[in-house]
Amino acid sequence: MTKWLEENTPKLVLAPSFIAVLIFVYGFIAWTAWVSFTRSRLLPRYDIEGFIQYDRLFASPRWDTALNNLFVFGFLFIVIAMVLGLVLAILLDQNIRTEGAIRTVYLYPMALSMIVTGTAWKWILNPGLGIQAMVRGWGFEDFTFDWLVNPDMAIYTIVIAAIWQSSGFVMALFLAGLRSVDGEIIKAAQVDGIPTWRIYTAIIIPSMAPIFLSAFIVLSHLAIKSFDLVIALTGGGPGYATDLPATYMYAMAFSRGDIGQAASSAMIMMMVVFAIVVPYLYSELRSKDD
Amino acid sequence: MKSVFFGAVSATALIASAVHAEPQAEVLHWWTSGGEAKSVAVLQEEFASKGGQWTDMPVAGGGGDAAMTALRARVLSGNAPTAVQLKGPAIQEWYEEGVLADISPVAEAQGWADVLPASIAGHMKCEGTWCAAPVNVHRVDWIWANADVLEANGIEMPSTWDEFNAAAEKLQAAGIIPLAHGGQAWQDATVFEAVALGILGADGFRKAFVDLDMDTLKSDEMKAVFDQMRTMRGYVDDNFSGRDWNLATAMVMNGEAAFQIMGDWAKGEFMAAGKAPGEDFLCASVPGDGFLYNVDSFAMFDVDGDDKKAGQELLAELIVGQNFQKVFNLNKGSIPARIDVSLEEFDSCAHLSAKDMGESSDNGSLLPSYAHGMALRGAQSGAITDVVTAHFNSDMSSDEAVNMLADAVANSM
């Protein structure tokens, strides 16, 4: 008995959470997949009708906009936040005296909820209250900065706010990465008279590859599940110019009573996540086998 | 002797209450803001004074979205509330899920059919039986104006859209924002349907937004509606995106803007700021004939147990009762759904609304508002709103908009 217990304790301890994950994650994914093949409206119905919801989804110009926005927003947000985070981290890494204070300042936006960030930027970017009004007040009467109300540019305001929120966090990640690089190698390179920028590009940054991957995964899931920022900053507007898949899904499920449509959009969102996560898992598992 | 008599009475009362269960009602609603909460409290008191026990279930947030989510969970778990604030085709949608109750006995005993306008009564019936009780009638197609601004610029309330445009040009030249508007999808839709009623007329409006007739949706008149929307985009200030409707009302109030097209909940804002109708602000129906209504109602859900059924019947009776209809609507700015309530205490805008409702009910131009979910189900009205707001917020041509409208409606089925 004790022997059996000894052997099986890890399994017993893990079983509850395993079962919970099985039901509440994979079970509900399967349920959503099922519903996405039905004509469910207000309440879920379970008669399979084929791909009708997906046909409707891809015929909808609003979904087109949402998916497009996700790629524009996701790409710019991830790239700029990573570049900015890295630059900030390298600058902070120069043994400056007030590093602790500055690090806190840059990291602080992360402590705010996206709703607060969105509301603050809504006022900053509002042409009648924020930057535009201020610069015009200085006497530049023709100055225009109306991205927030311009349907073609509004998505970039979301990028700005999201980067402001997250680049400090990326900086902290990179800073930890920079510190973990072996000091001996850097000293050896300095002794050899290699210029500092070469030390960064040839030694430090390449050895931080795992940190880049972590930052990328964290930022990309932030991008895909972005919802509160859009709701607070633009409400999806002007029109539906800044809709993202998550806000589309919410509108269909909770405002319009079109659960089948919402389920199909949720499935597509999940596939986008898989397209990012699966190669990551694959490379992780393979490197362990080596 | 006296005490014996009282003893007997209280004994009978005790027995009676043991036999007849106390009426119970659990009411799901999202009237949680100041004036609205006060209005619900009126109903609550009346219900309690008739011996009922009221369980309040207010769910705020998202213009009813949160309440609908709560309702879904309750219905799926087989434990529906007694009555739920629902309106328009949503009532029929829930009926098709097989969860609504039949309150015809109360409705017939109270003679609802005689006191409610026919088209509003139609929303309260599910395949011939009564399943919901109306609370109020909001008129959506109002145009509000700042009286001083109009007088200073020599402008009358417009009776055609051309007059409106001419007035707007004049105001713009005088440096006043002609139209106070908030760039939120539902507000775009509210202006759109007001314009559509004027240009398409009552029959055209019904064909387009009730019957979803493709020929009407693609017609030249519909293009003219989008043309007018494009013109009106020019009368809105640059800063309108995302503005709440009450802030737009405030712009009219303080003379920054001249007109606002909004339902009669805007009146509540004027009143709350101490403005008098006819003196400080003017109300008129938008150019064109007809009346777009937005009727709040309570749908009655199937419940088990005599106490709950008794509560449901009592609730239905009180909601349509004269007293509640008067008090509630005085608080909320709307007009009573039943036509035999005395309007003595109501203001002049409400009188105009009631008069127009009677006339339009007689000549068949009493129409449900599409923008406020009275005419179409969520998926269809949402699809139309998507096109309206996309057109209003971009430089899309009217031809393109009309084609998109037809495609979106077809795709939403």
**Predicted model pTM:** 0.84
Q: What is the 3-state secondary structure (H, E, C) of A161-198?
A: HHHHHHHHHHHHHHHHHHHHCCHHHHHHHHHCCCCHHH
- Answer yes or no: is A43 within a domain: no
Of A148, A235, A255, the CB nearest to B378: A255
- Answer yes or no: is A69 within a domain: yes
Question: B75 contacts in A (CB within 8 Å)?
Answer: 43
Cα separation, B194 vs B203, whole angstroms: 14
- Answer yes or no: is A40 within a domain: no
Contact B25, B308 (CB under 8 A): yes
Contact A69, A243 (CB under 8 A): yes
- Answer yes or no: is A6 within a domain: no
Instruction: Note down pLDDT in tens along chain A; length 290 residues.
Output: 788 888 888 888 999 999 999 999 999 999 999 999 998 888 888 888 889 999 999 999 999 999 999 999 999 999 999 999 999 998 988 888 888 888 888 888 888 888 999 999 999 998 888 898 889 989 888 888 888 888 889 999 999 999 999 999 999 999 988 888 888 888 888 888 888 888 888 888 888 888 888 898 889 888 888 899 999 998 887 888 899 999 999 989 888 888 999 999 999 999 988 888 788 778 777 776 55
Would an 8 Å CB–CB cutoff place A121 in contact with chain B?
no
Could B239 and A60 be called an inter-chain contact, meaning their C-beta atoms sit closer than 8 Å? no
- Structure token pair of residue B133: 């009780």
Could B75 and A43 be called an inter-chain contact, meaning their C-beta atoms sit closer than 8 Å? yes
In tens, the pLDDT along A118-152 reads 999 999 998 888 898 889 989 888 888 888 888 88
User: Taking all residues of chain B, what is their mean pLDDT, rounded to a whole number?
Assistant: 88
Q: Is A259 helix (H, G, I), strand (E, B) or coil?
A: helix
- Answer yes or no: is A5 within a domain: no
Cα separation, A207 vs A179, whole angstroms: 11
Rounded to the nearest 5 percent, the helix, strand and coil shares of chain A are: 75, 0, 25
- Answer yes or no: is A54 within a domain: no
Which of 135-194 (A) contact B at CB < 8 A?
146, 148-149, 151
Residue B9 pLDDT class (50, 70, 90 cuts): very low
Could A151 and B393 be called an inter-chain contact, meaning their C-beta atoms sit closer than 8 Å? yes
Would an 8 Å CB–CB cutoff place B349 in contact with chain A?
no
Average pLDDT over residues B304-331: 89
- Structure token pair of residue A19: 């079962």
Question: A128 contacts in B (CB within 8 Å)?
Answer: 237-239
DSSP string, A199-255: IIIIIITGGGHHHHHHHHHHHHHHHHT--HHHHHHTTT-STTTT--HHHHHHIIIII
DSSP letter, residue B115: H
In tens, the pLDDT along B241-289 reads 888 888 999 999 999 999 999 998 888 888 888 888 889 999 999 998 8
In tens, the pLDDT along B37-95 reads 877 888 889 899 988 899 998 887 666 788 888 898 899 888 899 999 998 888 998 99
Could B68 and A257 be called an inter-chain contact, meaning their C-beta atoms sit closer than 8 Å? yes
Helices B220-233 and B185-209 pack at an angle, to 10 degrees, of 160
In tens, the pLDDT along B214-234 reads 999 999 999 999 999 999 999
B4 pLDDT exceeds 90? no
Contact B314, B248 (CB under 8 A): no
- Answer yes or no: is A231 within a domain: yes
If you search the block for the tokens 């026919």, which residue do you land on? B118
- Among A71, A164, A153, smallest CA distance to A116 is for A164
* Domains of chain A: total: 1
Question: B407 contacts in A (CB within 8 Å)?
Answer: 59
Of B184, B378, B392, the CB nearest to A235: B184
Q: What dihedral do alpha carbons A123, A129, A131, A135 form, nearest 10°? A: -170
Could B382 and A258 be called an inter-chain contact, meaning their C-beta atoms sit closer than 8 Å? yes
- Answer yes or no: is A50 within a domain: no
Q: What is the domain-level CATH number for residue A126?
A: 1.10.3720.10
Q: Collect contacts of A53-56 with beta carbons under 8 A, ≥24 apart.
A: A53/A260, A53/A261, A53/A263, A53/A264, A54/A264, A54/A268, A56/A261, A56/A264, A56/B411, A56/B412
In tens, the pLDDT along A194-237 reads 888 888 888 888 888 888 888 988 898 888 888 999 999 988 87
Could A255 and B65 be called an inter-chain contact, meaning their C-beta atoms sit closer than 8 Å? yes
Cα separation, B214 vs A99, whole angstroms: 66
Share of chain B above pLDDT 90, in %: 55
Contact B382, A251 (CB under 8 A): yes
Q: What are phi and psi of B21, to 5 degrees?
A: -65, 150
pLDDT, residue B62, reads 62
Residues in chain A: 290
Task: Name every residue whose Cβ is closer than 8 Å to that of residue A183 and which is 6 or more positions away in sequence.
Answer: none
Which of 249-288 (A) contact B at CB < 8 A?
251, 254-258, 261
B5 pLDDT exceeds 50? no
Chain B: residue whose CA lies nearest to A154 = B241
B6 pLDDT exceeds 50? no
Of A61, A237, A256, the CB nearest to B382: A256
Could B379 and A258 be called an inter-chain contact, meaning their C-beta atoms sit closer than 8 Å? yes
Lowest mean pLDDT among A97-101, B1-5, B110-114, B251-255: B1-5
Q: How close A268 comes to chain B (CA, Å)?
A: 18
Q: Residue A197's domain spans which residues?
A: 62-289
Residue B116 pLDDT class (50, 70, 90 cuts): very high
